[in-house]
Amino acid sequence: MSFKVTVIGAGSVGFTKTLISDLLKVPEFADCEFALTDLNPHNLDMVHQIIAKIVAVNNLPAKVTATTDRRAAITGARYIMSCVRVGGLEAFASDISVPLKYGVDQCVGDTLCAGGILYGQRNIPVILEFCKDIKEVAEPGAVFLNYANPMAMNTWAANAYGGVQTIGLCHGVQHGAHQIAQVLGVADSELDYVCSGINHQTWYIDIRAKGRKIEKDELIAAFEAHPVYSKQEKVRIDVLKRFGVYSTESNGHLSEYLPWYRKRPEEISKWIDMSDWIHGETGGYLRYSTERRNWFETDFPMFLEQAAKPLDQHKRTSEHASYIIEAMETGRVYRGHFNVRNNGIITNLPDDAIIESPGFVDRFGLNMVEGITLPLACAATCSASISVQRMSVEAAMTGDIDMLKLAVLHDPLVGAICTPDEVWQMVDELVVTQAQWLPQYKDAVPAAKERLAKGTVKTKDWEGAARKKVRSVEELREVVGGHH
């Protein structure tokens, strides 16, 4: 069979290599067309060389193209994947540094909290441009697979306003399940589970190890006894004890989605671990991304060397995309966890929310498991975030800066730290700082600048409560200044 798959943001060299290598592991896809597109021609050329070499070495009839013309890449595609970050590291730096001035200490800032909300404002207009192209030039009925954060907001906008069938994909569920298998001492293949909620706040509400149901107390004991996770996952373990279920997301991520663990600087060190950025370091992902901003340059020879190896040496990963496409094209059923509009799938979350929950894919498409009810504490936590997401999407669609401020005001962590006046000034500062990536706020920027000039809220020069002394915020700004 032959069809076209397009990767937008293909300059994410390592991830694109993974996605397409996984697809080429499916025998029926040997003669597909893979269209790569990115704004950065240099990165695009590197990934093109890698994928073309994989195809050539394995004597596959597949076609590989690369172009900076996104619309041309999408033309005739049956499946379109997105892994873009609008504004790059420069915008990301202000997602972290501006809220810090107001006391909001984020580890990642790409899903919720002040940084994640602004990230959504930058991404949503671009996501809708993708949808417009898909409707106009892709195959009729083309499927949009979104890997880009903020997952829920992007997928919400694409489904509600883009008019394209969009499925959001994330690997957090698989990674959390791997942890659970490790602490229980079983293989990944011996663990069965139902995980449901919203992206990055998904909950393992039923766990079976070798067919035996695992209860709360056994799981707590297993995590507390683990020599590594007991130190790295303090927030997740504490939430497990209080809620009764384990969360998918990493310690650092989860700590910034909730109002309890990063609200007072003197408390933060009790809950995070500095052995790796993902466990709660202030601005950890920004530091990691900045220091590795050109990693693919040095690793490119290694990628080319790997590309010269036969595909049978590539172990297919747990990323959902290849399995979804395989199921839709061949009928081989795939069970995974997908981000889609709720519509009653989870009984105690709003219908319009983008939820992450189990489903099955076959030739008939994606079929979600309906009638799941979350534990009340999990539903309450998800509902608070969903309200923020809903307002954030509305703000991004309308360019309503007052709605944007209300979204940030209702964010759980921001609300635990900031007064309304602080939120209003912080959002003005974020919108002015990021104006070049926020076309929908063009008319709001002049007034925001005037308000900032008269600003009465005092800010502070603060690096955060848990920052590795590798680079200061100022040094990070200098490093990313020329790398959009």
Catalytic site residues? 171, 257
Q: CA 195, CA 199: separation in Å to the nearest integer?
A: 11
Other Cβ atoms within 10 Å of 236 Cβ, number:
24
67, 79 contact by CB (below 8 A)? no
405, 423 contact by CB (below 8 A)? yes
CA distances from 198 to 62, 352, 358, 399 (A): 36, 12, 11, 25
Q: CA 72, CA 129: separation in Å to the nearest integer?
A: 14
37, 44 contact by CB (below 8 A)? yes
CA distances from 326 to 20, 170, 331 (A): 12, 18, 7
Beta bridge partners of 203: 196, 247
**In this structure, which amino acid lies at residue 465?**
A
DSSP of 415-455: HHH--HHHHHHHHHHHHHHTGGG-GGGGGGHHHHHHHHHT-
Q: Which of 134, 119, 95, 110 has the alpha carbon at shortest distance from 8?
A: 134
Q: CA 349, CA 315: separation in Å to the nearest integer?
A: 37
Q: Which of 293, 291, 295, 269 has the alpha carbon at shortest distance from 282?
A: 269
Which residue in this structure is represented by tokens 């394209």? 164
Longest dimension (CA), the chain: 67
**In this structure, which amino acid lies at residue 393?**
V
Q: CA 98, CA 462: separation in Å to the nearest integer?
A: 10
Exposure string over 279-306, b if 16+ CB within 10 A, otherwise e: bbbbbbbbbbbbeeeeebeeebeebeeb
Q: Coil, helix or strand for 350?
A: coil
Tokens of 91: 């915008």
448, 428 contact by CB (below 8 A)? yes
